[in-house]
């Protein structure tokens, strides 16, 4: 058993809806209700998919507060509270804890590229500031530096540093963490959910779960009940969607475009994110149709 089995299964990294340049809180509430209805374990606002780098501090707090209110105890909330400033990460994590989140997703400090000791001291300070569980978010493709397995193993000695969102794409890295700790490892890449669960990971923080949460949940549940044939079938069903949608552009550009097609979001982005080009919109439509979502695509 991993340390936080209550976060096993499907967590969805929810987008931040915008309308006319401002956060669309009404649509955000609808999206949380959609995830509750799908039986999702947790929603993750304010992460990479939620365009957190372009949210003001006040907006970030407002999004967290709104998601906690919409969740109403029916679904767990793991709020993104990371920053490349330790003091800012502490401030936002404290706010999230007081707002009532169930856990905090704390990304590795980005741009300033700390040494491994810097990573350790950063996460140690954030964890010491709250009583809620901390999920380390290791995504070197975004941050510019990997949190090495030895550092994660060391951080696992801190009681409330209990989870890892593993977004390195490295099976070796995941194996090293799973072999040496009882941390709850969650895949950070939709295409690697099943491979990582086979190693001992306990689920996924999903992007495609914004549009097909029931299928992603079904994959996790099939694996957990030992139905490897069904888990593989769902993996191979979801894999082209994950690959072909998310490879079109930087996340969350393509998933927001898909949600616009499906009528569940405006598709609005904030600079420096820009809309999906027309030729890629056509490819995305083909991908959604191939998955079986063609009947849900709006005419416009």
User: Contact, 65 vs 97, CB < 8 A?
Assistant: no
Question: Taking a C-beta distance cutoff of 8 angstroms, is the pair 147, 119 a contact?
Answer: yes
Torsion angle of C-alpha atoms 245, 246, 248, 254, degrees rounded to 10: 80
Give DSSP secondary structure letters for 134-153.
EEEEE-HHHHSS---HHHHH
According to DSSP, the residues that pair with 103 across neighbouring strands are 78
**Extended strands (E) in 108-250:** 134-138, 161-166, 184-187, 203-206
Residue 137 annotated in active site: yes
Catalytic: 214? no
| Residue 87, CA atoms < 13 Å, CB-side half-sphere | 0
Q: Look up residue 218 and give its two tokens.
A: 């079904």
Q: What is the DSSP letter of 249?
A: S
User: Out of 165, 232, 237, 283, which one is annotated catalytic?
Assistant: 165
- CA–CA separation, 297 and 261 (whole Å): 5
Please tell me which residue in 76, 124, 137, 291 is annotated as part of the active site: 137
Strand ranges inside 65-108, DSSP E: 76-80, 103-107
Whether omega for the bond prior to residue 279 falls within 30 degrees of 0, making it cis, is no
Are 246 and 190 within 8 A, CB to CB? yes
* C-alpha pair distances (Å), 70 with each of 25, 27, 88, 212, 266: 10, 11, 25, 20, 20
Active site amino acids: 137, 165
């Amino acid at each position: 058993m991993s340390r936080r089995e209550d976060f096993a299964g499907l967590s969805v990294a929810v987008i931040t809806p915008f309308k006319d340049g401002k956060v669309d809180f009404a649509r955000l509430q609808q999206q949380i209700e959609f995830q509750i209805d799908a039986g999702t374990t947790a929603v993750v606002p304010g992460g990479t998919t939620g365009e957190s780098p372009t949210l003001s501090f006040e907006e970030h707090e407002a999004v967290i507060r709104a998601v906690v209110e919409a969740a109403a105890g029916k679904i767990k909330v793991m709020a993104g509270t990371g920053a490349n400033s330790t003091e800012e990460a502490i401030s936002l994590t404290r706010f999230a804890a007081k707002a009532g989140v169930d856990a905090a997703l704390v990304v590795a400090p980005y741009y300033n590229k700390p040494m491994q000791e810097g990573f350790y001291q950063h996460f140690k300070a954030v964890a010491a500031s709250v009583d809620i569980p901390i999920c380390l978010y290791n995504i070197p493709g975004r941050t510019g530096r990997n949190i090495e397995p030895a550092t994660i193993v060391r951080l696992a000695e801190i009681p409330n540093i209990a989870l890892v969102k593993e977004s390195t794409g490295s099976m070796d890295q995941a194996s090293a963490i799973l072999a040496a700790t009882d941390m709850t490892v969650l895949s950070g890449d939709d295409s690697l959910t099943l491979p990582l669960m086979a190693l001992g990971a306990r689920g996924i923080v999903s992007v495609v779960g914004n549009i097909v949460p029931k299928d992603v949940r079904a994959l996790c549940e099939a694996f957990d009940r030992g139905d490897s044939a069904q888990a593989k079938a769902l993996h191979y069903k979801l894999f082209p969607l994950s690959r072909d949608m998310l490879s079109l552009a930087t996340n969350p550009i393509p998933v927001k475009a898909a949600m616009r097609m499906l009528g569940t979001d405006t598709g609005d982005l904030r600079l420096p994110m820009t809309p999906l080009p027309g030729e890629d919109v056509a490819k995305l439509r083909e991908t959604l149709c191939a998955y079986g979502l063609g009947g849900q695509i709006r005419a416009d």
